[in-house]
Amino acid sequence: MKADPCACSDPTRHGRAFARRGLLAGGAGLLACAALPGGVPGLPRPALAADPHGPRTSLTPDQALELLKKGNDEYAHGQPFHGDINRERRIAIALAQAPFCVLVCCSDSRVPPELLFGRGLGELFIVRNAGNTVDTAALGSIEYAVGVLGVPLVMVLGHERCGAVAAAIEVVERNATFPGSIGPMVEPIVPAVLQARAQMGSGSGGDLLDRSVRANVRRIVARLPQQSAVLQGPMREGKLRIVGARYDLDDGDVDFFDS
């Protein structure tokens, strides 16, 4: 009788073969995982970097700002949206991005950045949170856009009747407290409220909420270069501008500060 070709005199042979196949599969998995942005958990990986030869916008800071102004003027006056959002554009930027503006804005659903500036896919690098504040994650995002992607313009955009700023006013005026992480979230806005209230007390008058919105924006704009050496170099060389603005919910108009 012929020996069964499937039979094995060594009971560990199939186990070793199985292990080899598992190792090969695992190696392929590691290679696939290494190709992902996060790399392989627990293993060293190269520092995050963009292709230095990749596309960058050719716009100057002033040209970038003019594009935003033009787009908002069209939006506020009800002109057709011209932002490039079609399939061809999506495919063209799938492997690389070259935005021309970092837009730090509020999470408010009534403030849609691309729409109110008439921009399309891949043009705005958006950092959003309630109250358009800049914490460590937001600052790192801004630095990445400027230092790696070569973005020439950073805009901090506040807006009319901002809920986060209103909450900070409640803290200042009534010593209010909020559940969860809402309190710590609005805490960075409190100095702007105090500044706005002091200006009103000196006889300048006006609405505390709107003054606080503007003061919050101006304070962030002034502090960004102080917080980041990554931003200081391009600013000295004239390759970067940091500006502030305030969006009006009623008429759709953006008031660009000092620009």
Feature table: binding site for Zn(2+): 106, 108, 159, 162
Report the C-alpha gap between 64 and 101 in whole angstroms: 7
| Binding-site residue positions | 106, 108, 159, 162
The tokens for 29 are 């998995």
Q: Name which of 171, 216, 178, 176 is nearest 196 in CA terms.
A: 216
How big is the CA angle at 157 (ends 151 and 158), to the nearest 5 degrees?
165
Cβ-proximal residues to 51 (8 Å cutoff; 6+ apart), any chain: 96
Report the C-alpha gap between 57 and 55 in whole angstroms: 7
The tokens for 228 are 């980041």
- For the chain, report the end-to-end CA distance as a whole number of angstroms: 95
